[in-house]
Amino acid sequence: MQRTVSIIGGGGVRTPLLIHGLLRAQALLNIKGLRLFDVDSGRAELMASLGREIASSQRVAVRIGSFDSVERAVEGCDFVLSSLRIGGMAARARDERIAIDEGLAGQETTGPGGVAMALRTVPVALEHGRIVERLAPDAWFINFTNPAGLITQALLQHTELKVIGICDTPAELFHRIAHVLDEPPSEVHCDYAGLNHLGWVRRVTVRGQDVTGNLLENENALRELYHTDLFDPKLISTLQLIPSEYLFFYYSQRKAYRNQLKAGATRGEELMRLNTELFSQLRSEAPREALATYRRYLEQRNASYLKLEANAGTAFQKIEKEPDPFDSPTGYHKIAVEVMSGLVSDEPRTVVVNVRNKKSIEDLQTEDVVEVPCEISSQGVTPSNAGKLPESVKGLVLAVKAYERTAIRAVTEKSWDLAQLAMLEYPLIGQWEIAKSLREAWVRCDQPNLGYMGK
């Protein structure tokens, strides 16, 4: 069976990497066409041209083109991949700066930045979801769009789509755990559960033998688990859980905030500059040169990940030779391909994704979206039995899930009061006056995307 894949938000910087991953799995996925849509049609066509260069280098015969409407891009597709950034990188940079002005860390998916992103994005994601319902009702909808858990929950609540939310954070953590243990990733099993950007590894086994205790006692190994020095090893050993990297913004928010002040910038501001330079260069180059430029961009971007928030570093420092991002063992493109490959195969594979809870995490409602290992095959997606959450993190998870539910209601009911309540429920904000100030700032700054909420 030949398949057609649509990428909504196809002008984004991850698109060529995603195309590379999809085409590497062509023997299994059998893709006949890739359709890119973006509100910036010029960027979508630029990404399509890079995709065609990738296809040529891999000697894969596939039609790759940009489309001028969501409807044309998704009609009759087998898979729809959604990677939206409403308002572009400028909106992210503004969100992070507004958070800092309120004395909070600025980050795009957690804290105030995550709230603003959700309020801007849910309406568009639902609009696209309803179009896919109508024009490609049998398609699998793979959600990349952040905040991934919240957006996936909104889609599952308000459409009849078959939706899976993906994020590369858990797989990256598992890979690094295997690395510090000096074991092949295939021999290491990590018991993981939580929400998107709020998950923990509870137990690590190697060929069936529990090595969790030894790992938690190894300070040097714990420091090597992340791209940069995020967590005090004592925090991890005391918690008796290995947190995913975004827990840094919960456990060390003040540190992140102070480093942003010290750096005089936010990640969004630096990426906006990097992206401007990238697209300016890509537009002036032939596809082969442009692909080399794109690879260097990814290396620079990846090398600086989380270093500003953790160490007051910068994306513009000279980097040592980075691994080729196209050959990385992890990443969004790898997770997407793993999920899609599972969905077209009779043999199940286990991947951590964002899905409806059902009975996976006992502390949460059945309709809540959770991030847990799932068995994925042509028969569908089955979440693992994660049981109860540890007491040390259960309260945090319940509070964040309450915020997510209320934020979705705020969007669907077009209520700033509910949005302010969601911020009150959210542990990273949690103060009425700060929530009110954030609300006022967003009303002033983003009428094009938040005007639907009124005043």
Burial string for 225-250 (b: 16+ CB within 10 Å, else e) reads bbebebbebeebbebebbbbbbbbbb
d(CA 160, CA 287): 39
pLDDT exceeds 90 at position 124: yes
Q: Which residue has the tokens 């005090």?
A: 232
Cis peptide before 147 (omega within 30 of 0): yes
Kindly report, residue by residue over 268-326, the tens digit of the pLDDT: 999 999 999 999 999 999 999 999 999 999 999 998 888 999 998 988 887 777 788 88
d(CA 221, CA 233): 9
d(CA 213, CA 227): 22
Kindly report, residue by residue over 61-115, the tens digit of the pLDDT: 999 999 999 999 999 999 999 999 999 999 999 999 999 999 999 999 999 999 9
Closest alpha carbon to 330 in 6, 17, 12: 17
d(CA 370, CA 36): 29
For residue 206, what are the β-bridge partners? 188, 209
- Where are the chain's structural domains? 3-87+106-166, 400-453
Output the CA–CA distances (angstroms, integers) from residue 219 to 215, 216, 311, 347, in the order listed.
8, 7, 19, 39
Pairing mode, if any, of strands 31-37 and 3-8? Answer: parallel
What's the pLDDT at 316?
Answer: 85
Q: Which residues contact 189 (CB under 8 A, 6 or more apart)?
A: 204, 205, 206
pLDDT exceeds 80 at position 455: no
* Local structure of residue 108 (DSSP, 8 states): S
Over range 402-427, report the average pLDDT.
98
Closest alpha carbon to 49 in 37, 65, 28: 65
What's the pLDDT at 133?
Answer: 98
pLDDT exceeds 80 at position 225: yes
d(CA 339, CA 381): 10
> By the 8 A CB rule, do 205 and 189 touch?
yes
Q: Which residues contact 264 (CB under 8 A, 6 or more apart)?
A: none
d(CA 63, CA 32): 6
Please determine, looking at this structure, whether the domain spanning 3-87+106-166 carries the CATH number 1.10.3720.10: no
In sign, the C-alpha dihedral spanning 254, 256, 259, 261 is negative
> By the 8 A CB rule, do 431 and 439 touch?
no
**Would you say the pTM of this structure is higher than 0.95?**
yes
Closest alpha carbon to 170 in 338, 367, 382, 389: 338
Q: Report the 10 Å Cβ neighbour count for 307.
A: 19
Q: Which residue has the tokens 């008796």?
A: 240
Over range 9-35, report the average pLDDT.
97
pLDDT exceeds 90 at position 401: yes
d(CA 94, CA 290): 29
